[in-house]
Amino acid sequence: MSSFPHFLVMPYPILGHMNPLLQFSQVLATRGCKITFLITEFNQKRMKGEIEHLGEHMKFVTLPDGLDPEDDRSDQSKILSLRRTMPSKLHKLIQDINALECDNKITCIVVSKNIGWALEVGHELGIKGALLWPASATSFASFQSIPKLIDEGIIDPQTGLPTRKQEIQLLPNSPMMDTAKLPWCSLGKNFFLHMVQDTQSLKLGEWWLCNTTCDLEPGALAMSPRLLPIGPLMQTDTNKSSFWREDPTCLNWLDQFPPQSVVYVSFGSLAVMDPNQFKELAIGLDLLNKPFLWVVRPSNDHNKVKNAYPNEFHGSKGKIISWAPQKKILNHPSIACFITHCGWNSIIEGVCGGIPFLCWPFFSDQFINKSYICDVWKVGMGLDKDENGLISKGEIRKKVEQLLGNEDIKVRSLKLMELMVDNSAEEGQSSKNLEKFINWAKG
């Protein structure tokens, strides 16, 4: 028998989940663990080059996602249907792997959210299970609080929507939350009901690992002894774990600018921007009179919105790319600030780069993440909408100037970065937690 655990790692098949689980797998692999990483056949085709790149660290296996080739994989309601088609296939796959790996059978399954059913499969086979939550610990705590929120009459048990307008504090030492912006409110009734079911399944995970630290979210982490902060998942040298081809030329382009002079703009892999808002943003970036690096995702047949640059947009001071090597960008000395959708992966990468934030949340947990940035850690500012529901070009220009002129925010950003580095150092709390988890998985 091997003295190192054999992990089967299985992310929900969207980029925001695959990235942290790939990074986590690489960290485990560097510590001698054996990794079998499960992805869908559809994503295997999209990530062919990346899989080849990582193949020396881990073994990749695939299962079909049960969808038709023409189905839109960015439609969450379609991907959630994995629960119907995949458990029996996963059961057989594990048995097949263990039949071949007699001396090194799978000892632990690690999943991300939305596929708690995989822990049920592992449980049936007598295999330990753990969850790696890809968002903030606070968002996990909010999902765990659903039964309590229903009991107290704060949300409707069928839709998850608030029964009345109010702000609540879910946890001590955490920001107030507008009940209309709880993480599931913008994602529809079916997603809410799925999460209620999924949260029950996730209780089979003996550890709930989070890409966070005690410094970032002490209130949320105090909710349960199962919550184990192992962040920041930034120790790996690789930066490539993407469905889209990254544009490395932007790093050479950044080299020509002085320190803290370039505005970086990216809204992650899922957020879709209204055409009028896209035009305001384009003109707002032009008005900055500063160099900017702007990630505009490639349109595809399923995108309901096509990006159209306004006639008055010059973009001469900026560089527009379709996808970015984001960790490297946020560690580049020329970056001054980060205009972001406040997705958790992006926040962790920005905090590790010591970069001030300008917050533009779209949905789900991004609103509570913004509250941490602006109200708790105080390392950024929010953008406010006008009477038409748009963030105007003037607001963009004004807030960038205010942010870049705020020395206190810059100082706090660098202090927070130091705390993150300390956590992932050899004697840091996150490193100790990781060792604890690996030792548990061996038994």
Does residue 356 carry a pLDDT above 60? Answer: yes
* Percent of the chain with pLDDT strictly greater than 70: 94
Task: Work out the average pLDDT over 364-392.
Answer: 96
pLDDT category of residue 240 using cuts at 50, 70 and 90: very low
Fold of 6-237+424-442: Rossmann fold (3.40.50)
pLDDT category of residue 1 using cuts at 50, 70 and 90: low
Q: How far is it, in rounded angstroms, from Cα 70 to Cα 68? A: 6
The residues pairing with 10 across neighbouring beta strands, listed in sequence order, are: 111
Task: Work out the average pLDDT over 354-382.
Answer: 96
- The single-letter code of the amino acid at 304 is K
Q: CB burial class (10 A; 0-12, 13-18, 19+) of residue 56?
A: exposed
Q: b vs e for 339-359, b when ≥16 Cβ sit within 10 Å of the residue's Cβ?
A: bbbbbbbbbbbbbbbbbbbbb
> What is the reported pTM?
0.90
Does residue 338 carry a pLDDT above 50? Answer: yes
- pLDDT tens digits, residue range 258-313? 999 999 999 987 888 999 999 999 999 999 989 999 999 876 544 445 678 999 99
Question: β-strands 6-10, 380-382: how paired?
Answer: unpaired
The domain limits of the chain are 6-237+424-442, 249-405
Run of H or E residues at 63: strand 59-63
Domain 249-405: which CATH number of 3.90.1150.10, 3.40.50.2000, 3.40.50.150, 3.40.50.620:
3.40.50.2000
Say if CB 216 and CB 372 are below 8 A apart: yes
Q: Nearest 5 degrees, angle CA 302-CA 303-CA 308?
A: 145
DSSP 8-class letter at 360:
-
pLDDT at 244: 59
pLDDT at 243: 53
Coil, strand or helix at 316? coil
DSSP 8-class letter at 104:
S
* Percent of the chain with pLDDT strictly greater than 90: 72
pLDDT at 42: 87
Task: Work out the average pLDDT over 383-392.
Answer: 96
Does residue 53 carry a pLDDT above 80? Answer: no
pLDDT at 372: 96
Looking at every residue in the chain, the average pLDDT score rounds to 90
Same fold, 6-237+424-442 and 249-405: yes
Q: In 3D, which of 347, 370, 344, 379 has the Cα closest to residue 181? A: 370
